[in-house]
Every structure is written in C-alpha cells, then in structure tokens.
Amino acid sequence: MTSRRRVLGLIAGGAAALAVPAGAAAYAHWTGERTGKVLASRIRLPKPFTVPLPTPPRARPARSARTADHYQMTQRAAPVEILPGTRTTVWGYDGIFPGPTITARSGRSISVQLLNSLTVPTSMHLHGGVTPPHSDGYPTDVVVPALCGDAFNGGRMQRMGHGMHTAASDWTVSQGSKTYEYPLMQRAATLWYHDHRMDFSAPQVWRGLAGFFLVHDAEEDALPLPGGDRDLPLMLCDRSFEADGSFRYPRHDLSCTSTPGVQDAYMDGVLGDVQLVNGAPWPEDEIPAARHRLRLLNASNARRYHLRLELEGGGTLPLTQIGGDAGLLGAPQRLDAIPMAPAERFDVVVDFSRCRVSSHVTLVNTLADGRMRQVMRFRIARKAKDHSHVPARLSSYTPLASATAVTPGTSTSAAPTTGGP
C-alpha cells in the first residue's frame, strides 16, 4: 500500500504524470483511508467571493518593559457576523474569531494573562512555540470559568467526561485566569494559539478559540520579502451552520461540560461545508499586482488541503515556499501546489505582477468537491511598484542531528548519542 508520505509527495510533485482523482476521493484512492465525513449546514449559504477578506486585529500589550511585553486576553462568547446577514455566537479570544494576532520578537519574552469568561474549562496552547512546561497549555492544565469559583477541581474534571483518561492528580486547575510565559528563544516563524482542553479541543476550536502568533527576528528583517499590507496571514478552516446561524457540530454534548466525542458517523473527522478564511466564507481580497507573502495556516479540525492558484482563463501561478512550521527555509522552493494537513503552516511568496488588472486569481483545494474546492479569490486592482524579491538564500541554521541529542540534566559530552525518544 502506498504510504501517506508518498501520497503527499505525489500530490506536491507537479512533475508526476499521474491523473489525480477528482475531489476528496484522491486521498482515499491512494491510501485506503477516509479523511472525514461532511456535515451539511441547515442554512442557506452565501455565494463564493461576495465577502471581503478580513484581517484579524493586532493585539496590543497591556504594558511593556525593556525586554518583555505583557498581554491580557479574555475568552468570551460574542455574536459576530460570519455568514452575511446572520449572527453566530463564537467562543473567541477577546470575543472575536480568529483571535487577535500576537506579534512578537525572538528573544523578547511575552506573557499572556488569560481570563476565562466562558462556561467551560479551557487550555491555551502555543502551537510551534518553544515553551516551558508550566505554560505549554497541555490538555490537563486548565483554566476554569471565572464565575465558577471553586466548583472545579481535579475530581470534578474527572467527572466531566475525562475520567476514562486521567486521575484527579493529573489535573492542574487555575481558577478564572492563568498567565502563560513565552521566552521566545526561537527563530522567526508563523505560529498559532488554540484551545487544547482534554477531550474537548475539537468542538471548542470549532467554536472559535484560535488565533495567529507571529515571531520575527533580525535575520528575517534583513530579507527583502514583501511586508506591511503585502504580508497576509490566512487562517483556513471549514465550518457548518445550523438554520439560525449557530455553529453546527455533531458532538454528544452540546454544552461541552460532560460527555466528550462525536456521533459515530463522524469518528473519522468532521468536515464542514463552508470554507472560511480569517473567519469569512469564501472571501475575496483586492490586491495590487505585486509580490505578496501568504502565511497559510490549516486550522481545520480534519480537512486536508492541496492548494493551487488558478488564473482566470486558465493556467496557474507558482508558489515560492520560504518557510514552514519551524520558520524560514534555508533556500526558497518553487512549488506548483501545497499539501497541508491540519495545524500545518506554509509561508509562501506569490508574484501577482504578471496578472492583468481586474483579473482574478483563485486559491483552490483540489482535494475537495463542489463549492468546497474554492477557498478564496484575489482580485488584481491596480499596478504597483514592488521593490521586494525572494533571495536565493533565506536563513542559516544548524539542522537537527541525533548525535547532538542530550538527556536532560547531563552535559553534552556525557549524553548518549543513540536511543531515547
């Protein structure tokens, strides 16, 4: 049987003279595995490309010192407009979806004081962060709602659907709020933060608990890459909606306070039938004919993407990958398409200068059918000067090697060079 890695390689390698089966059947065709079941919305859905692409607001520090910034965020329920003319109640960081984008500097520490004003416990995880254990946001380190006082403890958490996995002593419970510390001793990279609560991460992220966390450094600053309005964070995810506009999700417990899990039909994963980018359905972005940096994040629960840029009238635009989950690549890679699993990030530069004014470029997912094949559209609004370019060399770093691994508490010279996780 063809391996999953081989499948992704075949999809990404545009030179392979192989007919790709249409839609989501491609992955199952090669691997024999299903990737999820589509949950149909019960509301009339908007036409693609009728909503402008929103940009999540940048978080502002509550206070700053010489070497650190301190942020405050509140997890709370709030009505927002996702589908035009309809209000959807999200569980959002500061009541928005996606949450505010935190912009940080490598080596400059950040703390985030998180207040939980929801009705359920949460755990905030910085995905891709080099983070101390007490601030990792591991699934059993939870912040219980501020209004619940001492109602939650390790034993109570066991009874909230978690008893099959954990003992009472496994839980770390913070009442109302918790401060997460991020030293950020790491390279520039596109990270994201999201809920990580044991057994309930999927439905709580589905309801909106996710946001970007961008780390910059001097090495990246020195590169002539597109910046400012031409540096676009794009959070891709799918959702389904009830007739009243609320999120639809096939969980056993609608309140997320007792029984975990989803209905049996969705055990392989829940796929929505509405494609969102930065919380908007099938949006369109008006851009100048110039290079743009796209920070692509797959924040879907189960949906995989094989992304391609299609030109109006035929043909495609290449994507130049400059970074991934861990930060900048050593050198750029020219790609015809990008395969993305949930939680993956790809930083790419796209040169739109060859596109004529008033034309459209559509980002599509060739692993989906129907309207879910459409992701978003770029409309070329005008010509523009562009002094950016992608250099042949992006970053210098030391690749990881097993010989450099050490056991905690030992010196490098005394550490074993083989074995261990």
The predicted pLDDT at position 409 comes to 67
Predicted local distance difference test score (pLDDT) of residue 398: 81
Task: Report yes or no: 328 and 221 within 8 Å, Cβ to Cβ.
Answer: no
402: exposed, middle or buried (Cβ count in 10 Å: 0-12, 13-18, 19+): exposed
Q: What is the pLDDT along the chain (421 residues), one digit of tens a residue?
A: 344 444 444 443 333 333 333 444 555 555 545 579 999 999 999 999 999 999 999 999 999 999 999 999 999 999 999 999 999 999 999 999 999 999 999 999 999 999 999 999 999 999 999 999 999 999 999 999 977 655 566 556 655 555 556 677 788 999 999 999 999 999 999 999 999 999 999 999 999 999 999 999 999 999 999 999 999 999 999 999 999 999 999 998 888 988 899 999 999 999 999 999 999 999 999 999 999 999 999 999 999 999 999 999 899 999 999 999 999 999 999 999 999 999 999 999 999 999 999 999 999 999 999 999 999 999 999 999 999 999 999 998 888 888 888 887 654 443 333 333 2
DSSP state of 95: T
- Do residues 367 and 24 lie in contact, with contact meaning Cβ atoms separated by under 8 Å? yes
Residue ranges, comma separated, of all CATH 2.60.40.420 domains in the chain are 4-45+226-383, 63-221
pLDDT on residue 407: 82
The alpha carbons of the chain give a radius of gyration, in whole angstroms, of: 22
3-state helix vs strand vs coil in the chain, percent to 5: 15, 40, 50
pLDDT score for 282? 98
What is the pLDDT, as a whole number, of residue 157?
60
Interior/surface letters 129-138, b for 16+ CB within 10 angstroms, e for the rest: bebeeebbbe
pLDDT at 419 (0 to 100): 33
Domain 4-45+226-383 sits in which CATH superfamily?
Cupredoxins -  blue copper proteins (2.60.40.420)
What is the reported pTM? 0.87
**What Cα–Cα distance (Å) separates residue 77 from each residue in 90, 137, 145, 169, 249?**
6, 21, 12, 30, 17
CB distance 354 to 260 below 8 Å: no
Annotation: CATH topology of 63-221: Immunoglobulin-like (2.60.40)
342 near 300, Cβ under 8 Å? yes
Q: Any residues with CB less than 8 A from the CB of 190 and at least 6 apart, and which? A: 128, 212, 214, 215, 233, 295, 297, 323, 345, 347
Number of residues assigned to the chain: 421
Closest residue by Cα to residue 123 from 210, 182, 203, 194: 194
Q: Is 245 helix (H, G, I), strand (E, B) or coil?
A: coil
**Residue 30 CA neighbour count, 13 Å, CB half:** 20
Distances (CA, A) of 90 to 79, 203, 244, 300, 337: 6, 11, 13, 16, 32
Residues 6+ apart with CB under 8 A from 197: 120, 121, 122, 123, 139, 142, 204
Residue whose tokens read 């790609």: 335
Task: Please state whether the peptide bond connecting residue 57 to the residue before it is cis, i.e. omega within 30 degrees of 0.
Answer: no
